[in-house]
């Protein structure tokens, strides 16, 4: 660890936001569609107790697939050019590794 960088933190937030949105999209989109289909077929009217279990099952199954997929699409480590770091961190990196041009940071997904 070289240090903590605010520039890397700002970059990480910008990269994590799309991942979080894509993780939630399937459960927020598929659940209403499937529940609407169950309602249109009269299943929810005939068995009103199935509303909560069906909602939880659909949401859970979609999250089981979307979460690992989004974590795979958006890797946890990212690279940043040394010139984009704060001056004190730039000096520290250049002192430790004068030939390197990139640093890697954990986005904290």
Residues 98 and 7: beta-carbon distance below 8 Å: no
The length of the chain, given as a count of residues: 109
* 7-47 pLDDT per residue, tens: 888 888 888 888 889 889 999 999 999 999 999 999 999 99
Which residues are registered as beta bridge partners of 81? 102
Q: Measuring CA to CA, which residue among 14, 15, 5, 18 is closest to residue 66?
A: 18
Cα dihedral 49, 50, 52, 53 sign? positive
pTM of the entire structure? Answer: 0.66
With 90 as the cut, is the pLDDT of residue 57 above it? Answer: yes
State how far the Cα of 59 lies from the Cα of 56, in Å rounded to an integer. 5
pLDDT-based confidence at residue 109 (cuts at 50, 70, 90): low
């Amino acid at each position: 660890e070289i240090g903590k960088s605010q520039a890397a933190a700002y970059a990480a937030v910008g990269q994590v936001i799309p991942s979080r949105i894509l993780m939630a999209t399937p459960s927020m989109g598929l659940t209403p569609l499937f529940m609407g289909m169950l309602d249109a077929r009269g299943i929810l009217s005939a068995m009103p107790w199935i509303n909560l279990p069906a909602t939880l099952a659909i949401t859970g199954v979609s999250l089981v697939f979307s979460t690992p997929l989004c974590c795979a699409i958006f890797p946890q480590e990212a690279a940043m050019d040394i010139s984009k770091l704060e001056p004190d961190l730039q000096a520290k990196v250049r002192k430790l590794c004068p030939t390197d041009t990139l640093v890697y940071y954990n986005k904290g997904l």
